[in-house]
Structure 1
């Protein structure tokens, strides 16, 4: 039934787009449409944990620093910085002559105003924990800001390079307030905000006052959330979209045959997990969690749902992230899984619910595959792919762990700071239980907590590596999350388009986006 429905939608999409092409309606040469597989839930970079959302917000916003395609830190609105010997004081020299879209000057006061907002716990911003080690922000003069930490924090510049650490116009913040700024982004980025129709598109236009001379090279930019894989592919083929991510894995070979398209597969640091609420039965039993790990064939999952553009996850921190510990995937062993369930007191399995953080078609394939796999060992699952509002209400903002309704949860994560801290602390530290961060397992382990905390203030890389290794080994024993696969980033774009690429964390860079006829 679902396959038939999908086929009808696919045919409808092709017919509709073909009619559009036949009518003579076409994109202007300097108008670009980016088709994405997820729907942004906000345009406030400080109030999201979703990579694709920060990709959209980067159209409007810039930070002091940013990552390049190899996750190396680059200066943006900062020209340089110095760190005190004790690792507590960062003095940052700022770029001068930069304007926000509303004409407000970018300066040290703007940096202070922006960071003070996220540091104010009354604002309840999701990214608070990324910056909560900041003790004080001071504007020394228009082009110099001094940030004093409460304690040494090795990856601090990496945190400032994260796409969430965007500089927001103080004038706009005062006008729109802490909540409504989410619908009225005003930054220093290459594009100005035009409008956001949440299920249709985020529209932007060229910012004529952009400080990088000659940029942007296009006039108009649209981000279109298109949840169905086949429709994204159809939009590329008919020219309604210039770029699409992610590409339906099963259609990669077909799209490669087009002389108008280029398909690009690149390594990622995105790992997909099955999260288990360890505060609730039966997932409070470590043998049940281990059994689930053995019951899922990760090799087959990579082929069935990801078209071979993925491989079994090699631990809790993906390779390419600093201090990642490479671990053997949990082997597929149905007999072992049944044995563990019997030992745990569930010889006939049990019934439960599996939610997906995403509702795109690839994720639906994943949860259906997991449903089938676990049925082999007697675990009967009802599966549901959550909409944005549902996951926000039922998972991300739930404030009482004892009554949390989440049980088994399919979700992904990328360590967008390029360092193990952001691969571990938001997911496994006890301070990261919702609504603060993304420890949806409600997991707590004193060794893991302690090692994450110690690594944050350690200055010696050997010491940090040892601490992170021990934490990852403990996670492998406890399995609050089952690592499933690490995927490749698969995108495609019209050959007329250049300067746009997917970064290892799944973010999208449009800094140098351009078109040719």
Structure 2
């Protein structure tokens, strides 16, 4: 900051200079959705990690802003030659927010809890290769796998793999107790969550004293809050129509980054008529992806033809597999025996990509004889009815978890796809460590789910980041679903 010379007398001049140079120590961040709880080991909602990942909870490893695996509660590790044994050396002196000490027994508890038969972890499959977890000292943990897992260290960096204490695990949903540089201060239901700096943090201290996450789902309200200064950052602005306005305003920084958010028209593959591949292929031909990107996202988004991020080196360009062709869609519906049309429901969660995109998709499908009843849902309703209850025909959602094509191999996953060949391919991928071999298997996996038209793959969600130009340290891209504020600060 440049301070203009001002003639003031004595103490007044000193006070002015001190206050002018003092860096701001608080931050209010805007988010679209309020998390249903704050325990990332028991919740599927991305909004949970957006508040607590790296800020409140930590894992053995963590995923950095560039997508690489970094040490976290494990300061280093060694891997046996056969790829089956991982020995983790843990941080010394780390404590949970309630004052209890962190040690190897907490790692054993957390990993055994996550992989237990009665586990409620939404990503239980991440732990499926673990055969045994042992503490061989207060700061050493040995994890033995039943088979090699090339993604094991990466998996341990997911929010679902954070380390929790047995003393507080059952109450983390309402009162999260982690080891991170921030701890929960206050949760105003329906409004905001405030974190405060953890003065007893084992690592580098956070540069902010308080961070408040405000929940503003309405695009117009989100724009207004930024312009008024009520929030100083919206890492994922739900108003793409306002991006040009912020780009022209020197008070703000605008960064259009990438995410892991494959946005799809998700389909209940076991519910007639969507159990017929020709019906699913008809929908894929009936939808103009670019029209949805332009109409719902104001041009911000990348068309995709499979469940994989375009920035990934293993990505296969398949977006032209089902070109926009309404006549071909009608012919496929007739071939499937539905020349008279189909009536179905489209359940939409709150994000603007879903609500706006849903209107466009309903119109496009109506043109080929698929009449949709649009049913708006709140996030909690969507989780209960669609994700958990599988009570849906069609829905629109962004899957923001990294490298998550393996969900298509999971038994009883919400879109209920079953293909033994695909499952065998993922099994092979899980035991393959060589990078080029893994890329080849990923490419095969993408082709299979596209050929089966499991879902209609729409676009990769852009990260529309807008924040105060004096803020430093916010992530430009989203390799994981996080608002990591551990290194955020204000310029003086």
TM over 0.5: yes
Aligned to 2:458: 484
Residue by residue over 1:267-303, the C-alpha shift from the partner in whole angstroms, topping out at 9 and shown as x without a partner, is: 2232101111121111111111111001111011111
Aligned to 2:433: 459
Please tell me whether the aligned partners of residues 270 and 505 of structure 1 are also in contact (alpha carbons under 8 angstroms).
no
Question: Distance between the aligned counterparts of 1:464 and 1:492, measured in 2?
Answer: 36
- CA-based RMSD of the aligned residues comes to 1.8
Deviation at residue 462 of structure 1 after TM alignment = 4.1
Question: Distance between the aligned counterparts of 2:261 and 2:464, measured in 1?
Answer: 12
Matched, 1:54 2:49: yes
Q: Which runs of 5+ in 2 are unaligned?
A: 1-22
1:110 to 106, 109, 116: 106
Deviation at residue 314 of structure 1 after TM alignment = 4.1
Question: Distance between the aligned counterparts of 1:92 and 1:378, measured in 2?
Answer: 57
Deviation at residue 470 of structure 1 after TM alignment = 2.6
Q: Secondary structure at the residue paired with 1:453?
A: helix
2:165 to 154, 163, 169: 169
Aligned to 1:269: 260
Please tell me whether the aligned partners of residues 52 and 508 of structure 1 are also in contact (alpha carbons under 8 angstroms).
no
Q: Cα–Cα, structure 1 residues 172 and 498, in superposed 2: closer, same or farther, change >3 Å? A: same
Aligned to 1:21: none
Question: Distance between the aligned counterparts of 2:76 and 2:114, measured in 1?
Answer: 23
Question: Distance between the aligned counterparts of 2:414 and 2:454, measured in 1?
Answer: 9
Aligned to 1:447: 421
Q: What does 1:231-380 align with in structure 2 at a 5 Å threshold?
A: 231-247=221-237, 248-321=239-312, 323-329=314-320, 330-356=322-348, 358-380=349-371
Please tell me whether the aligned partners of residues 500 and 511 of structure 1 are also in contact (alpha carbons under 8 angstroms).
no
Q: Secondary structure at the residue paired with 1:47?
A: coil
Matched, 1:221 2:207: no
Structure whose residues are more often helix by fraction:
1
Question: Distance between the aligned counterparts of 1:48 and 1:154, measured in 2?
Answer: 25
Q: Secondary structure at the residue paired with 1:130?
A: helix
Aligned to 1:473: 447
1:45 to 27, 37, 40: 40
Please tell me whether the aligned partners of residues 489 and 506 of structure 1 are also in contact (alpha carbons under 8 angstroms).
no
Q: Cα–Cα, structure 1 residues 315 and 125, in superposed 2: closer, same or farther, change >3 Å? A: closer
- Superposition TM-score, scaled by structure 2 size: 0.91
- Superposition TM-score, scaled by structure 1 size: 0.86
Matched, 1:186 2:177: yes
Question: Distance between the aligned counterparts of 1:298 and 1:78, measured in 2?
Answer: 43
Q: Secondary structure at the residue paired with 1:217?
A: coil
Residue by residue over 1:210-265, the C-alpha shift from the partner in whole angstroms, topping out at 9 and shown as x without a partner, is: 1223x211111111121111111111110110111322110000112222211111
Matched, 1:34 2:9: no
Matched, 1:508 2:483: yes
Question: Distance between the aligned counterparts of 1:232 and 1:512, measured in 2?
Answer: 24
Q: Which runs of 5+ in 1 are unaligned?
A: 1-27, 399-403, 434-438
Aligned residues: 466
